[in-house]
Amino acid sequence: MKMKIAAALLLTGSVQASEIDNLINTSNSLVAQIDRGRMLVGAAIENGPNGYISSPGLSASAQISNAQVDAYNNALASMANYAPYGDAQTFLETQAGNELDLMQDAVDSFTGAVVELTTVVQVNDMAKEAQTPDDKAAVQNFTVTNDLQVNQETVDTYNQSLTEIETHSNNAGAYLGVAANKESTEFLQQGAENNNSNFETATLTYDSNQQWVKVSWMTGNATAVYVNGTNFDSLYVSENDILALGAQSEYYNSGYHQAGYDCMVNESNCEGLR
């Protein structure tokens, strides 16, 4: 999903930017020719009566080619689809893609911290399974002979990445939810026009307390869509549903997360898990 959004938005954004750029470039080419032609004509008017001769074929350098005409006319035609204020849906989806990228960065940090904390899981499993004195002696030996202390820096990374993952995931969900609602995108689009602003220079935020997605314009004004009510009820997922989905997720059930201490720390006994 993230890759599809990012690719689509990159293409749409580049098309929107190139439409006005193409018009500038192609019209510049014609303007330069016209300006040169006017100078040549002005010189010819002065030179002929005064007995001067220009270089043969100089006029050809100011002529307009068929390719220049076609390029300019195509640029004019493409302006029919140009969005001077930008496009609200595209903007929302682009920002959602950015949030998903940031979420993935945080997932990488979280995964690294989980690998570091796998020793806790191993100790927990051994201690719970120890029934006989020999079993308990094995737990003692494992905890004494290995460096199993939890590093505070690792815990900080774990906690911080969890917060970041939740934040970026929720931001992306809110932006995509609004992007899928026609009434909301039309409202934001009108906000851009009312503020004589373009989405390219705007900033987007989701506030879970206020329950809104807000576009802040360069003018200092803002336009917000409240993500509550019947239009957005489906955006909100209960804790039970979240945990149930997580338990079935590919991430939770992927090899390394179910591999245990030996595979994740010592990279042994990983057969069939890579």
**pLDDT at position 274, please?**
47
Residue 118: pLDDT band with limits 50, 70, 90: confident
- Give the residue among 175, 180, 193 at the shortest CA–CA distance from 96: 175
Q: Which pLDDT tens digit goes with each residue over 230-265?
A: 888 889 999 999 999 999 999 988 855 565 666 666
CA distances to 245, 249, 258 from 148, in Å: 32, 29, 20
What is the CA 252 to chain-centroid distance, rounded?
Answer: 24
pLDDT by residue (tens digit) across 11-64? Answer: 444 445 578 899 999 999 999 999 999 999 999 999 999 988 988 889 999 999
State how far the Cα of 94 lies from the Cα of 64, in Å rounded to an integer: 40
